Amino acid sequence: MELQSIKVKKKVEPANSPDIITTELIGVMEDNQGTDLRAYLSVAENDRWILISLSGWRPLGRYKHSAQIVKEKLYVIGGSRNGRYLSDIQVFDLRTLKWSTLSLHAYSSNDVLKENFPAMAGHSLVKWESKLLVVAGHSKEASDTVTVWSIDLETSSFSVVNTHGRAPTARGGQSVAVVGTRLLIFGGESTRGQLLNDLHILDLSTMCWDLVQTKNMPPAPRFDHTASVHSDQYLLIFGGSSHSTCFNDLHVLDLQTMEWSQPETQGIAVAPRGGHASTTVDEHWYIVGGGDNRSGATDTVVLNTSKLVWSLSTTVGGRDPLASEGLTVCSATMDGEKFLIAFGGYNGKYNNDLFVLKPKTRDSKQPRLFQSPAAAAAAASVTAAYALAKITDKNGDSVNSEGVNLKLASANSGKVVAVDTDKLTSEKKSLESKLEEVLNENSRLKNSLDEMNNSHNLLLMELQSVQGHVAAESSRCFKLEAQIAEIQKRLESFSSIEQELENLQHQKLKIVKDTSAPQRQDSGGIWRWMAGTTQSP
C-alpha cells in the first residue's frame, strides 16, 4: 500500500530552549490497513521516538507490566492499573499494527492449575527456546519463594515450572538476565517490603536454583532497576529505587570471578531514576523513561558497554508517555532494520500508546574495558612499547616492529641498501626487556592486591568477631546493671527493717519485765507462809 503524507511534527520552543521532538506523528495514514512497522522506520529520523498511529481496539493503559518480541509480535503480560493487578496477555502484530488478546489454557499432568493466568505486576519476562518465562512479581496468590511460569506460544498453554534448589524469596521489581543456560535474578522488593540485593541463578537446563556468593561490595538493596549483559561475561546493574531515594550508579559483576565493581564512566551525567526500561542494540544499552519520585525522566540515554561511555539519544516532553515509570521497551529487527518499541507506563495517567525509535549507527565494537588497574597499566605500557618499535629516522626511513629497516634509494636507481641490523636487534631486546619489566610489575601489583584483599578479609573477620564479643559483653552488662539495681532497692529497705526489729526487741523486753515482777512477788509470799511468818491481810 502506498504511504500517504507521513511527517513528524516539531514542537515550537523558545529560541534558548533545546530542540525537543514531540512524539506526535500527524497525517500518518488515512487508512493503515495492510501497513506494517516498516512504513514508520522508512521515514523516521534516527534516535527520535515516533508515536504509532493506530485504528481499532487497544488494550488498557498500565504500568509495571512485562513485554517481549517473538516472531514480529509484541507480547505484553499483566501489569497494574488503579491499584489492581492485571492477568491479560495482549499481542501487537508488527506487520498488521493490530492488537489482539491471547487466551491461554492451563496445562498440567495433575490438573492442579487454575484455568486463568494469574494477575501480577512487577514481574520479569524472558524468552527461552520456544517459550516465554514469567519470573517472580507481585501477585495475590501467596508464595514464599519466586514462582516461574512457562507460556507455550505454540499451544497457547501455560504451566508452573517445577524448580528445585535454593529458590529466592518471593519479590517484585527485580532484574532478570539470561546468559547461556543461566537465568540471573538480582534484587527487588519482597512481599513484606524488604529491599534486596541478593543474586540467584536458575539453571534453565535443570531448573535448579542456587544462591550465588559474590565478592567485594554489591549494589545497595534496590528495586525497579535494570540489568544487561556484556559479552556473556559481565552483568551490569543500573539505577533503581529504595524507599527514600533513587540511584544513578552503575555496577558490574564479573560472572567468571563473581566480583562486583563500580567502574568509572565517561560522557554525560545521567540523572537518578527508578522504574525505567532498558534494552540492548549490539553493544549499546538504551535506558528509557523512569523517574525520581518527583518527575519523570525525559531523556533516553545510551551506554556503550565496551567503552563505558554515556551519551544522549533523544529527549521528550515532561508529560510525554515516554517520561513514565513502569513502561517497557524491547529491541528487534525487521527486514534487517533494527528498532526499539516502547509501551505503557504511568506519569499521572496510565498510558497505552506505542512508540518506535530507529537507533542511529554508532561506533563499532571496541575491546572491553573491564579490567584491573594493573592490567590497564600493563596494556598501556605494551602499547607504548610497540609504538616505539616504529621509528622514523631523519631521512624518513622507517623501522618496522620486526626490526627490519629498509632504506629505499631513488626510484631511478632501484637499489635497496641494508642498514645496521645489530642496532635494530639491540633496540628489539631493549623493548622486550621493557615489556618483561611491565609484565613483572603487573604480576607484583596483582600479588600485592591479593595480599591486601586477604588482609582485608582477615581484618573483616576479626572485626566481626570483636563485634560479636562486644555484643555479648554488652548484654551481660545490662543483666548485671539490672541485678545491681535490685540489690540497691533491697539495701534501701534494710535500714527500715533493722529499725523495726529493734523496736520489736524493746517491746519484747518490756513485756518480759512486766510479766516477771508479779511472779517474783508471789514467790516471796509462799516462802514466808511456809516459814510461818505469813502476815494476815
Per-residue pLDDT reduced to its tens digit, 410-439: 333 333 334 467 778 878 888 888 888 888
Radius of gyration of the chain (CA): 41
Q: How far apart are CA 81 and CA 65, in angstroms?
A: 10
Per-residue pLDDT reduced to its tens digit, 476-495: 887 888 888 888 877 777 77
For the segment 382-409, the average pLDDT, to the nearest whole number, is: 39
Per-residue pLDDT reduced to its tens digit, 133-160: 999 999 988 789 999 999 999 999 999 9
DSSP codes of every residue in 236-274: EEEEEE-SS-EEEEEEEEETTTTEEE----EESPPPP-B
Beta strands (DSSP E) in 358-441 are 391-392, 398-399, 406-408, 416-418
Position 26 scores a pLDDT of 36
Q: Which residue has the cell 595480599?
A: 451
Provide the pLDDT confidence category of residue 399 given band limits of 50, 70 and 90.
Answer: very low
| Cα 241 → chain centroid | 9
Residue 38's closest CA among 238, 313, 461, 332?
Answer: 332
Q: What per-residue string of b and e applies to 465-496 under the rule 16 or more CB within 10 Å gives b?
A: eeeeeeeeeeeeeeeeeeeeeeeeeeeeeeee
Residue 56's closest CA among 3, 2, 99, 16?
Answer: 99
For the segment 195-211, the average pLDDT, to the nearest whole number, is: 97
To 5 degrees, how large is the angle CA 44–CA 48–CA 51? 75
| Cα 445 → chain centroid | 31
Inform me whether the pLDDT recorded for 343 exceeds 60: yes
Position 32 scores a pLDDT of 44
**Least confident residue range of 109-123, 139-153, 188-202:** 109-123
Half-sphere exposure in the Cβ direction for 121 (13 Å, CA): 18
215's grid cell: 565478592
**Least confident residue range of 11-25, 254-268, 444-458:** 11-25
For the segment 229-246, the average pLDDT, to the nearest whole number, is: 96
For the segment 118-142, the average pLDDT, to the nearest whole number, is: 94
Position 10 scores a pLDDT of 38
426's grid cell: 639491540
Provide the pLDDT confidence category of residue 377 given band limits of 50, 70 and 90.
Answer: very low
Per-residue pLDDT reduced to its tens digit, 168-180: 999 999 999 999 9
Other beta carbons within 10 Å of 77: 24
CA dihedral (465, 469, 470, 471) in degrees, to 10, reads 100
